[in-house]
Amino acid sequence: MLSVSFRHRIGNSRINADFAAPNGVTALFGRSGAGKTTIVQAVAGLLRPEYGRIALDDTVLSDSDGGHFLPPHRRAIGYVFQDARLFPHLTVSQNLLYGRWFSRRSQLAPPDQITRMLGISHLMQRRPAALSGGERQRVALGRAILSNPRMLLLDEPLAALDEARKTEILPYLERLRDDLGLPILYVSHSAAEIARLATTIVLVDQGRVIASGEAASMLSDPAMAPYLGARQTGAILSVTLAAQEADGLARVDSKAGPLWLSCLDRPVGTPLRLRIMAQDVMIALQRPADISALNVLPATITDLRLDEDGVLVRLDAGGDPLLSRITRRSAERLDLRPGKAVHAVLKAVSVAPGNIGAASLCPTPPR
Amino acid sequence: MNAGNWLTPDEWQAVALSLRVAAVAAIASLPVALLTAYALARWRFPGHAVLNGLVHLPLVLPPVVTGYLLLLTFGRRGTIGAFLDQFGIVFAFRWTGAALAAAIMAFPLMVRAIRLSIEAVDPGLEQAAATLGASRIWVFLTVTLPLVLPGILAGLVLAFAKAMGEFGATITFVSNIPGQTQTLPSAIYSFLQVPGGEGAAGRLVLIAVAIALSAVFISEWLAKALARRVSGA
């Protein structure tokens, strides 16, 4: 567990960081320039905070009380930078083994396992200049892991890459989270990335931590909506896989009733987390008949929030929160207000990250 | 060594002395230049501007002035010279003095070349090395130094060429004693002072041109080889 509590001033901007990062992937989420990188640098020891304390488990990394400061090379914290920062005069293989040379900690994983996991085994004798952006980031990731760190810091490792490269690397990050069990601090301003990777979310705005908590509840918190953007706002539903039905659909049971998903090659009884985007949830006053959507849940309105994108409705579906994004006109026409009983029509339902092997759930559509 | 029929022993002596003076000047000043360049490139400290000015002083002062100042400080009665004399270290009117003068005159060029190459190294790489467990000295040895090697080489060659041609400060500080302090430029100067010396001067001029050109070629070739190694292209 990483506990961070410090204040620091750079030029005119102030950083006031106060959060804890349990094991798993903790996302530092916020707009560009919010101070996320400064926080990560303080954890790595590349920056010495003016006031406060940072500790990893029982090791104090820095503490302004008593002027304690552990230099970066003695922290055993792997850092993957936005711009890879591979050593240009060394080969991929030499880059990968650089940190191992200094590490006195026991090996996290054998090098060939890591290179296979990251898909870089065939690049070993190349120089960084001869690598693509995605390959460079994977080598940087491998280099950090092979230094046998106690924790990994990933500072927007995908920011410099195009969409194709991002989708190339994301599965590796998921495997990292699920296979190595290293605590990871993940900096991002991309809601899609954190929805896929994070188990804990720390929301940073203008140098301050304004909220933090478990990913599922943070993602469905209307207060997060302005930071997530209209398309990424959504809720997480905890369900259990109840049955595989003859026509290929899988039935899952939520607290508010059954839902059907298109494909799930998991054993019956598996608990799952479903991510339901606010823009995929319609609201009906009566249970709609003759409608193509399969998934309709009875719900009660708990909160309406007006913002520049319309109205964000928070619903209670048998105890689980749901979010729905509708227009202001619809809200007025249906006379929606807290306490009103409605039906939520779910246009799309997807399995949320956080389930081990979630990426492999639907390998190929059934023939 | 037999330099052929076309060089008299005196002329050969001047060439050999010059090569020795320039090589010693370049190599002996390298560690100091490296430290100075690193400090100027990476550290912020009070007196940064003063140090920078001091390093560049030999470049802007008339060489005669530099030579005279050397004579005042490193001469046998100079403050530092008198002190070193007790240990048997003498610069005045010795080839070591010529090397000292050449080193000081070449120092700004060497520092400049190395400093530029240090400034070109991304500090982010050094940070990355630190997060991988390398202490400051290891970061310098395994990341910074290999990356600035082309700059160090360029600095060495520049300093060597400058030292080969040093004249004003040398002749003021250590005079022009054949076999002792008569370097290539001083010898050319001396030959031109006597009637019929043009032939000898001409031969030495050819040698000076040849040495300078090969220094440039060698440095270009090494720099290219190193750049290939460093960038991996």
With 50 as the cut, is the pLDDT of residue A365 above it?
A: no
Closest CA to B64 of B94, B103, B105, B21: B105
Q: Is A309 found in the same domain as A200?
A: no
Q: Is A260 found in the same domain as A187?
A: no
Task: Compute the distance between CA of residue A207 and CA of residue A283 in angstroms, rounded to an integer.
Answer: 37
Range scoring the smallest mean pLDDT among A346-355, B33-42, B85-94, B145-154:
A346-355
With 60 as the cut, is the pLDDT of residue A142 above it?
A: yes
Range scoring the smallest mean pLDDT among A176-180, A187-191, B182-186, B224-228:
B224-228
Query: Are the beta carbons of A77 and A153 closer than 8 angstroms?
Result: yes
Q: pLDDT tens digit string along A3-12?
A: 999 999 988 8
Q: pLDDT tens digit string along B159-212?
A: 998 899 899 999 998 888 888 888 899 999 988 998 888 888 999 999 999 988
Name the residue facing A103 among B128, B133, B135 (closest C-beta).
Answer: B133
Q: Is A39 found in the same domain as A15?
A: yes
* A44–B131 C-beta distance less than 8 A: yes
- Answer yes or no: is A164 within a domain: yes
What mean pLDDT comes out for the span B66-76? Answer: 90
Of the residues A185, A219, A253, which one is the last residue of a structural domain? A219
Q: Is A190 found in the same domain as A55?
A: yes
With 60 as the cut, is the pLDDT of residue A151 above it?
A: yes
Asked casually if ipTM beats, i.e. exceeds, 0.85, the reply is no
* Residue bearing the bigger pLDDT, A31 or A143: A143
With 50 as the cut, is the pLDDT of residue A34 above it?
A: yes
What mean pLDDT comes out for the span B135-159? Answer: 91
Of the residues A219, A247, A278, which one is the last residue of a structural domain? A219
With 80 as the cut, is the pLDDT of residue A361 above it?
A: no
Task: Compute the distance between CA of residue A330 and CA of residue B169 in angstroms, rounded to an integer.
Answer: 90
* A78–B147 C-beta distance less than 8 A: no
* pTM for this predicted structure: 0.78
- Answer yes or no: is A33 within a domain: yes
Of the residues A157, A189, A219, which one is the last residue of a structural domain? A219
With 70 as the cut, is the pLDDT of residue A352 above it?
A: no
- Answer yes or no: is A300 within a domain: yes
Closest CA to A48 of A36, A37, A63, A60: A63
* Residue bearing the bigger pLDDT, B210 or A165: B210
pLDDT (0 to 100) of residue A364 = 38
Query: Are the beta carbons of A280 and A323 closer than 8 angstroms?
Result: no
Supply the CATH number for residue A332's domain.
2.40.50.100
pLDDT (0 to 100) of residue B4 = 54
Q: Is A150 found in the same domain as A237?
A: no
The mean of the pLDDT values for chain A is: 85
Q: Is A201 found in the same domain as A246?
A: no
Q: Which residues of A touch B127 (CB under 8 A)?
A: 46, 72, 79, 85
pLDDT band for position B66 (50/70/90)?
very high
Q: Is A248 found in the same domain as A212?
A: no
CA dihedral A319, A320, A324, A329 (to 10 degrees): 10
With 80 as the cut, is the pLDDT of residue A355 above it?
A: no
Long-range Cβ pairs for the range A118-123 (8 Å, 24+): A118/A142, A118/A172, A119/A172, A120/A92, A120/A96, A123/A92
Three-state DSSP class for B1?
Answer: coil
With 70 as the cut, is the pLDDT of residue A292 above it?
A: yes
Q: Is A153 found in the same domain as A39?
A: yes
Q: Is A200 found in the same domain as A96?
A: yes
Q: Is A298 found in the same domain as A171?
A: no
pLDDT (0 to 100) of residue B1 = 44
Q: How many domains does chain A have?
A: 2
What mean pLDDT comes out for the span A303-316? Answer: 87
What mean pLDDT comes out for the span A350-357? Answer: 49
- Answer yes or no: is A54 within a domain: yes
Supply the CATH number for residue A112's domain.
3.40.50.300
pLDDT (0 to 100) of residue A276 = 85
Q: Among residues of chain A, what percentage have pLDDT more than 70? A: 94
pLDDT (0 to 100) of residue A248 = 78
With 50 as the cut, is the pLDDT of residue B93 above it?
A: yes
With 50 as the cut, is the pLDDT of residue B115 above it?
A: yes
- Answer yes or no: is A225 within a domain: no
Q: Does A99 touch chain B (CB under 8 A)?
A: yes
Sequence letter at residue B110: M
What mean pLDDT comes out for the span A205-229? Answer: 83
- Answer yes or no: is A226 within a domain: no
What mean pLDDT comes out for the span B79-105? Answer: 87
Query: Are the beta carbons of A140 and A80 closer than 8 angstroms?
Result: yes
Q: pLDDT tens digit string along B216-225?
A: 888 788 777 7
What mean pLDDT comes out for the span A171-191? Answer: 82
With 70 as the cut, is the pLDDT of residue A74 above it?
A: yes
* A130–B131 C-beta distance less than 8 A: no
Neighbours of A238 (CB within 10 A): 15
Task: Compute the distance between CA of residue A323 and CA of residue A222 in angstroms, rounded to an integer.
Answer: 8
| Domains of chain B: residue spans and CATH | 9-228 (1.10.3720.10)
pLDDT (0 to 100) of residue A266 = 73
Neighbours of A33 (CB within 10 A): 11
- Answer yes or no: is A74 within a domain: yes
The mean of the pLDDT values for chain B is: 88
With 70 as the cut, is the pLDDT of residue A263 above it?
A: no
Name the residue facing B128 among A85, A89, A101 (closest C-beta).
Answer: A85
What mean pLDDT comes out for the span A298-311? Answer: 87
Range scoring the smallest mean pLDDT among A160-169, B142-151, B171-180:
A160-169
Q: Which residue has the tokens 């220094």?
A: B215
Q: Which residues of A touch B139 (CB under 8 A)?
A: 73
User: Half-sphere exposure of residue A84, counting CA atoms within 13 Å on the CB side?
Assistant: 21
Tell me the residue range of the domain where A350 lies: 232-360
Disruptive mutation site among B126, B131, B138, B147 for chain A (greatest number of A CBs within 10 Å): B131
Q: Among residues of chain B, what percentage have pLDDT more than 70? A: 95
pLDDT (0 to 100) of residue A104 = 80
Q: Which of residues 134-193 of B touch A (CB under 8 A)?
A: 134-136, 138-139, 142-143, 146-147
- Answer yes or no: is A366 within a domain: no
Query: Are the beta carbons of A284 and A239 closer than 8 angstroms?
Result: no
Q: Is A243 found in the same domain as A207?
A: no
Q: Is A194 found in the same domain as A278?
A: no
